[in-house]
Each structure stands twice: as C-alpha cells, then as structure tokens.
Structure 1
Amino acid sequence: MHNNLKESDLYTPIKQFLTNLGYQVKGEIKSCDIVAIKDDEVIIIELKLTLNITLLLQSIDRFSLADIVYIAIPKQSAIYKKKQKQVKKLVARLGLGLMVVDIQKEHAYVEVIRDPKEYTPQKNKRKQKALLKEFHQRQGDTQKGGSTTRKAGLTAYRQRSIRIAEYMKTLSSCTGMQVNKAIQEPQATQFLYNNHYGWFNKVSRGVYALSEKGKTELVEWQQKDIVATQ
C-alpha cells in the first residue's frame, strides 16, 4: 500500500462512483466521512486505511443515522489482502456493506464487495459435528480457555489412548479385541494401529505392546487426567 496514502484519498473515487449512480454526495456531514442521498435513501460510508475496531465501532454507531452503512478501505490494505474471507464474514455479520478502493498510479477503482443485508451465518455441519464430538467425549475440563494451542492438550482422543495404555501396562502384549472387551473401547484396534503418540509397538499382525515411550509418558498424562476429571 502507498506509504503516503491518506483516508481522504478514498473520498474522490467513491464520490465519483456514487455520483455516477445518481446519488448526491457530500463529505464530513455530522462527523460522517461520506453521506450519499438519492430520493429517500441515505447511505453513510466510513473511510479507513485499514480495518480496525475503531472503524467497526464508528460504523455501527452510524446505524442511528441511516439504515445503510458501508465501510471503505484500500484494496491494498494488508488485513484485507491476507484475511479477505474473514473480513467479508465479519462485515456481513455486523450488517455493514463493504467497499474497497483499488488505488493505481493513474486511476482508482471502487468495488462494492458486499451490500448491507440481513446476515444468517451458514454452519459447517462437519466441523460442528467434530466440535460436539470432542466436547461430549472429553472427560472433565482438561485445558484452560485461552491457553496456547501449540501445547499438547488433554483431548478426548488422548484420554482414550490413556485408558488403552493403562490396560496394556501390565500385559506383555494384546490385541485390539482384547482391549475392547476389557475396557469397552470399540476403536481400540484403530488406536493401536494408528499409534498417534508412539505409545504402542506392533509385535505381530494385530498384536501390540506398550512401548517404552508409552510407559514413560503415561505416568505424566495420568496425573493430568486425574486433575482434569476431579
């Protein structure tokens, strides 16, 4: 984005764009960056060089003056270039419209990315199903909200792995079917085969033993599991 770009540089191309659509356009009316009127329709546009909380709060406040409110940012804005999909969702959720101004050397082009309208977010059923599955399968509250996701957490998957490892720690080897019968873990064979944490060694076809890594890490994770389920 141009280093010397100012918010006012967005005004002229947007004014020209709206004027061509038949609107009367004026700037800085009662602290509104742009007000455009055609017949009984009133539009307010707030200008910023980037999308930030100040712009969003300011724009939401404009609904007390008009039913149609847009925010306008340069197309070259870093957050728009990197997070375009999320920006569109956020603006839609707030009931705002979105314009971007593509500033070139000779000309500036205005694009209406989204017109304001009622927004009903579409749920991702697959992701929601995974969310609910993890919530209901996890025993206790195992990790503080807001803690870093880079640190391994006590997920439902790990809790199930702990139960399998606890059963196997006194056995030289066993099959997934044996584990399932003993602790009612229907996916025991899959857990042993996938060996996600490196806790199980394959002895022969369908037969597994607890690995040295599994024995060592099991003690640490058992303590975390006890604390989480208290």
Structure 2
Amino acid sequence: MKETELYEPVKRWLEMSGCKTQAELQDIDVFGQYADDLTVAVELKTQLNLEVICQAAERQTRVDIVFIAVPESKGLKRSKRVKEIMRVLRRLNIGLLSITFPKKEGNGRVRCLLLPDYPCDFKRHVRPVAKKKKALIKEFAARQLNINVAGSNQTKLMTLYRERAYQIALQLLHQGAMAPKAVIVDGLTRDQINRILSINHYGWFHRVERGIYYLTPDGIAAAEVFLKTYPELATSMITPTTSENTSTIQKNQA
C-alpha cells in the first residue's frame, strides 16, 4: 500500500466534521482548518514507527491537533510493540487513525484509535499514575538487597518476592524444619509468609507435615549458593527464632 491511498479516506473523515483541507501544505501531508481557526495536521504512513512519531511531534509546533494515519492490520491491534508506541502517543498527545479498505466497498474507512486532547494539559499527560508510583516507592522501601546490575537480561533478577523467599530459605537452612509462625521476615505478616511457603513458586519448600516446612534439594542448593556468594548479606537475613518458637519446632519434630 502507498501513502497516497490513505489520503482520500482521511480527507473525507476530516471534511465530514466541518474541516476544510489541503494536501501537502508546506511539508504537512494533510492540513485542515475549522471555522474557529482550530488547525489539524495528519501524517500518512504505511507503518507506525519512530520516524512518523518524530514528524508528528514537529507538527505540534505549528498546529493545534496532530494525527498519524496508518493502514489497519492485525499487528496494529495485538502487537505488544504497537501498544507501547500507543502509550508514547498518549503521553505526547498525538492522535492515531487506522484506515481499512473493505473488499465490498471502494472507499476506505477511518477509525480513530487515539483522540488527542484540546486544549492539552501536558502536565497531566506526563504525570505518573499515583497508584503505580506508590507501588514503586513501597517496593523500594521494602527491599533490603541491592545486588541487581542495571541492563541485565540473561540473569535472574532479585525481585522483592525472590528476596523474601531467600530470607525464608536461609532461615530453614540455618534452623532445619520450621513452623511458618517461627519464620520472621521484615515487612511480612504471618499470612504472607504462609502464602510464600504454600505457593512454593521456586520449588524450594516442602511441607513435611501440617505446619512444618523444610527445604527441598533445590531450596538447599539455592540457599547455599546465596550464602556462599553473599555471606554478609545472608547472615543479616537469617533471623534467630524466639525460644517459644524454637520449643514449638522441637516439639513438632519429636
């Protein structure tokens, strides 16, 4: 498909809303103007890529509203990359039009996937989502380890969940079989500790009987590797049990 094939459907779509249009005005593919002097620019491209986003951002310096128009495709609806690009377009306040050409119809059909705001409050567009920001701050405060290397993609990262699983595994390695209530992890409730043990995401834990867990061979290996690699960190993560909890464990083991 050529970019010129997208022109007529876009032209009709704009004119149906009362917009007068001109093609190739200076370097703008489609320029439109409404009666109240609201101006529109549409950049036509056969693919949604960085080049057309840069062009659209430049057009924002000269017109009120900017759209990118591309042919409709399955990838446009489902591609992870396209979804990420659309997130960028939202933050830049650039609209997105998709053009389809039904076989039974000679004319192309325009669908508006993103409608830009006008007037635009750019502070609102670039402001972080409060819930997501709060979650980041919460995890940052909860993490005790700082051993990840930025840019790593071939190694397992130390997530907060993995860190807490290590804390439990190291205590089991140090104490032997334990009751969940004897395990102590900063920032975790007893229910959260029970959940990590029961879900057993990494296959490190095994329930020998009701209320008593010990490490599987994989769990022992993981804890020993961590202990050998980060001895000081591992030592700080092993929390001694109270005498009450220790007696409970010994009673259950007997």
TM-score by length of 1: 0.80
CA distance in 1, matches of 2:165, 2:78: 42
User: 1:133 Cα deviation (Å)?
Assistant: 3.5
Tell me the residue number matched to 1:11.
7
User: 1:52 Cα deviation (Å)?
Assistant: 0.7
Tell me the residue number matched to 1:41.
38
SS where residue 22 of structure 2 aligns? Answer: strand
Q: Which runs of 5+ in 1 are unaligned?
A: none
Match runs of 1:68-217 below 5 Å: 68-76=65-73, 78-83=75-80, 86-105=84-103, 106-117=106-117, 118=120, 120=124, 123=129, 125=131, 128-148=133-153, 151-180=155-184, 186-187=189-190, 188-217=193-222
217-226 or 78-87, which moves further after superposition?
A: 78-87
- Higher fraction of strand: 1
Q: What letter is aligned with 1:215?
A: I
User: 1:131 Cα deviation (Å)?
Assistant: 3.5
Q: Structure 2 vs 1, CA of residues 178 and 21 (structure 1 numbering), >3 Å: closer, same or farther? A: closer
SS where residue 40 of structure 2 aligns? Answer: strand
8 A contact 1:50–1:79 mirrored in 2: no
Tell me the residue number matched to 2:47.
50
TM-score by length of 2: 0.74
**2:27 aligns with one of 31, 36, 40:** 31
8 A contact 1:171–1:209 mirrored in 2: no
1:221 and 2:226 correspond: yes
204-213 or 56-65, which moves further after superposition?
A: 204-213
Q: Structure 2 vs 1, CA of residues 110 and 210 (structure 1 numbering), >3 Å: closer, same or farther? A: closer
Q: Structure 2 vs 1, CA of residues 53 and 223 (structure 1 numbering), >3 Å: closer, same or farther? A: farther
Q: How many residues align?
A: 221
Q: Structure 2 vs 1, CA of residues 212 and 7 (structure 1 numbering), >3 Å: closer, same or farther? A: same
Q: Structure 2 vs 1, CA of residues 130 and 75 (structure 1 numbering), >3 Å: closer, same or farther? A: same
78-87 or 26-35, which moves further after superposition?
A: 78-87
Q: What letter is aligned with 1:168?
A: L
CA distance in 2, matches of 1:191, 1:19: 60
Q: What letter is aligned with 2:129?
A: K
CA distance in 1, matches of 2:53, 2:174: 60
8 A contact 1:142–1:155 mirrored in 2: no
Q: Which runs of 5+ in 2 are unaligned?
A: 235-254
Q: Structure 2 vs 1, CA of residues 12 and 133 (structure 1 numbering), >3 Å: closer, same or farther? A: same
Percent of matched pairs sharing the same residue: 29
Tell me the residue number matched to 2:237.
none
User: 1:48 Cα deviation (Å)?
Assistant: 0.6
Q: Structure 2 vs 1, CA of residues 168 and 34 (structure 1 numbering), >3 Å: closer, same or farther? A: same
Q: Structure 2 vs 1, CA of residues 59 and 227 (structure 1 numbering), >3 Å: closer, same or farther? A: farther
8 A contact 2:145–2:163 mirrored in 1: no
Q: CA RMSD in A?
A: 2.9
Q: What letter is aligned with 2:173?
A: K
CA distance in 2, matches of 1:36, 1:167: 68
SS where residue 129 of structure 2 aligns? Answer: coil
User: 1:57 Cα deviation (Å)?
Assistant: 0.6
